[in-house]
Structure 1
Amino acid sequence: MGGTSTVHDKPRAPAAEPLRVLRARSWDDPKLARRGHDPRSAYVERFWVAVLGPSAVWFLRLLAREFDELAPDEELRLDLDTTARRLGLQHRGGRTSTFMRTVDRCAMFGLAYFTDDAVLMVRRHLPSVPRRLHDRMPQELRDEVGHWSRTDGQADFSVGETRLLASCMLMLGHGLHESAERLVTLGFAPNAANEATAWAWAQHCTRPRPRGRN
């Protein structure tokens, strides 16, 4: 289930009763946790949007934020009408609604899959856009995407130092996307900057929160 090349069937046919609540669970992949891209990252902003479309990326980002607040074994319960409206979409017409077409698009590209009609597994980290999908991008992005796979450009910094710098940026209040962009402007290879920022973000989100006073 966790392999990056796994292909899943498209979502099952809808149940007789209209689906009102969707249970979403985290689809974790150790390989992508190290090499993949957080849905809120600069890489996804640049390249996956051109393939998935903005609505699907917004949906993945929304779930990423919600998953950050859960324990590893917890699941989300999404009211479909409310979730659709949070994304500026509609959930009318069941499986044919604009919102469910957005969900199905995530499944089409292997970023989510249904275990049954009401349970959706969603990737916490996205793979790099497969080469076979590069022709869906405009030419300027096709020229740029190869640059983002480089790991050179950081000879003076170890992986640990790069991650530390990314952690410092997050502690200063910079967001995930902004931190990755700042590392790139400092001369780090985009893929190395993205990996370090994704790692630092995961550490930031899983750090125990202080208990409130009684």
Structure 2
Amino acid sequence: MPAPDLSAPTLVLETWDDPVVDALGYPARSTYVEQFWLSILGPSTTWLVRHVDAALEARPEGTTLELAATAEALGLGAGRGRHSPLVRALHRACQFGVARASAGPTLAVRRNLPPLTRHQVDRLPAGVRARHDAWRAVERDASTLDAQRRRARRVALALAELREDVPTTEQRLHRWKVHPVVAREAAVWAHRLVRARDPEVDLHPPVGPAAVPSAAPAPPPRTVPTALREEADLGGDAA
């Protein structure tokens, strides 16, 4: 794919809509991408994709990416030369079909990544490849997923009603041994439902300087009822 135009200090970001990949793929900040796409894209590109996805989640209609600030935020230095880490990460995202250059300094970026191809899976380290095969085997077992999905949705809804955001809900479910595919789907479903009931509810963690007020004390950690942890333990009865 063509490389993006980096002549300007900013890139215009837009969502790359792809009905097939959006239906069958994995969110850019999902565990699947972290565990399996990471070996294909490399850490710099993976973190760049996560960073861009968060920006597009906050502004689905499109936004801009300050190249210098982004490079510094990701620990990639401040340079914008063609061999700089940020530019290489952008080019790699395009090379693997995660992003594509549009007219002018515009970059369309997928918010869902497709499953790895067989060729890509074969390139994974042996241990990672074994985990990927196990992951896909669970996905193919529809009866197991259906039972997990019902229970995970109940737990995710309770967490959403406690005002937990999507990433935190997903991480809790994952820690409680919910399969990552099910955890992500349940978290998104629950938060959409809560937001539909009350459009004014705030389910997003603060972003930027406002996220860490200088004078305010840190809030106490949220206690999750034991019943929710037991409900989420899918190692037992899956009814």
Calculate the TM-score normalised by the size of structure 2: 0.68
> Which of 22, 30, 41 is equivalent to 1:52?
41
Structure 1 residue 159, shift from structure 2 partner: 4.3
Aligned partner of 2:109: which letter?
V
Instruction: Note if contact 1:34-1:195 (Cα within 8 Å) is conserved in structure 2.
Output: no
Residues 68 and 167 (structure 1), Cα distance of their counterparts in 2 relative to 1, 3 Å cut:
farther
For structure 1, which segment, 162-171 or 137-146, has the greater mean C-alpha deviation from structure 2 after superposition? 162-171
Structure 1 residue 146, shift from structure 2 partner: 1.5
- C-alpha distance in structure 2 between counterparts of 1:112 and 1:165, whole Å: 34
- C-alpha distance in structure 2 between counterparts of 1:115 and 1:192, whole Å: 34
Residues 176 and 156 (structure 1), Cα distance of their counterparts in 2 relative to 1, 3 Å cut:
closer
Structure 1 residue 136, shift from structure 2 partner: 2.8
Query: Gapped runs of 5+ residues in structure 2?
Result: 203-239
SS of match in other structure, 1:114: strand
For structure 1, which segment, 120-129 or 25-34, has the greater mean C-alpha deviation from structure 2 after superposition? 25-34
2:141 aligned with 1:154: no
SS of match in other structure, 2:2: coil
1:105 corresponding residue in structure 2: 92
For structure 1, which segment, 96-105 or 129-138, has the greater mean C-alpha deviation from structure 2 after superposition? 129-138
- C-alpha distance in structure 2 between counterparts of 1:98 and 1:111, whole Å: 17
Query: Gapped runs of 5+ residues in structure 1?
Result: 1-8
Identity across aligned pairs (percent)? 31
Instruction: Note if contact 2:156-2:187 (Cα within 8 Å) is conserved in structure 1.
Output: yes
Larger Rg: 2
Calculate the TM-score normalised by the size of structure 1: 0.75
2:158 corresponding residue in structure 1: 168
Instruction: Note if contact 2:76-2:86 (Cα within 8 Å) is conserved in structure 1.
Output: yes
Aligned partner of 2:186: which letter?
A
Instruction: Note if contact 1:19-1:94 (Cα within 8 Å) is conserved in structure 2.
Output: no
Tell me: higher relative CO, structure 1 or 2? Use CA pairs within 8 A at least 6 residues apart: 1
> Which of 79, 85, 96 is equivalent to 1:92?
79
> Which of 2, 21, 30 is equivalent to 1:10?
2
Aligned length: 195
2:12 aligned with 1:20: no
